[in-house]
Amino acid sequence: MQRKKMLIAVLAIALLVGAVSAGILTYYGRIESDVTVSQSVFLDDKSYTPPIEEDFGAVGGDVICKYHWLRNTASVPVAVNLVSWGAPEGVTVKYYTMGTSTKWHITPSGGDYDKVEADVTKTDKAGSVEFKVEIVSDNPAGHTYGMGIAISTDISTIGFQVFYQEWQTPYVWYYQAYPWTSELHDLPYLGITATGDRDHKVFTVDIPIGLLGGCGAKYYYAIQFRTNLIGTYPQGLNLWAQTTAGYFASATVGTIPAMPITLEPGQVLPFYICYEFDKAIAPETFTIYTEVRPA
């Protein structure tokens, strides 16, 4: 009987402890987060669905380039690859990124009008190439400033020049096709724009890529500062025999990127997809796909 009473007492204590334990907290608070996730990289500022559709025709020998852009909305760098498939034999797909800048320094040489020291920056923009000239020396010939740039898509000839006439009125920007007896056209002309005047030292000339041969094309350019003798440029092209101060070089519209492409936070990267069609390509209809994939 004593043992039975003791067992009942133990069970009662166990029940009492269980009742107390049921009141102990297992956590002190809870956070419920409703999260909406957005993709980090956008193509043409559009969501990854639905696909972007482009319809166009081509003839054998054509090069068709289509403009697009990538935008990184993430707070960290994101690496991507451009991948295309579906192109039949006779079609080559290439990518050209824009936005690259190249800067160089030109030192003085020669006579009065040649004693110009300048920084020159060439920038491949979305649909044009900008040449920016920042003169960093005083011009001893009257202390007025100007510049000229000549462009060609063929090493054996000259295409046109764009120059600021600072040595006589009217003080304006002109476009002129080669030869230099051709008509002068005030800017803007053919999509070419320019800024800067004779009393300041910063000039810009913005030329549409179509006048440079199009995306991926090679072109030649020469820059000079003796605008009172416009039409003479640094030696380089076959017809440009007179050596004068300035700069002569060749360039390609756009840059073929190495994969993967790394986009910095907030970066917008313009680029072109170019489709090159063989001259002997057979007539047919097909679909070419290009994706922007995480690297």
Phi/psi of residue 84, each to 5°?
-120, 150
Domains by residue range for the chain, with CATH: 41-98+256-294 (2.60.40), 102-252 (2.60.40)
Q: What is the pLDDT of residue 42?
A: 97
CB 204 within 8 A of CB 218: no
Which pLDDT tens digit goes with each residue over 7-41?
445 444 444 445 445 689 999 999 999 999 999 99
How does pLDDT run across 120-144, given as a tens digit for each residue? Answer: 999 999 999 999 999 887 765 566 7
**What are the angstrom distances between the C-alpha of 104 and each of 222, 223, 248?**
13, 12, 12
pLDDT of residue 15: 46
Predicted confidence band of residue 180 (pLDDT cuts 50, 70, 90): confident
- Model confidence pLDDT, tens digit, residues 242-278: 455 567 888 999 999 999 999 999 999 999 999 999 9
Residue 108, pLDDT score: 63
* pTM for this entry: 0.81
The count of other CB atoms within 10 Å of the CB of residue 71 is: 16
Distance of alpha carbon 195 from alpha carbon 209, whole angstroms? 18
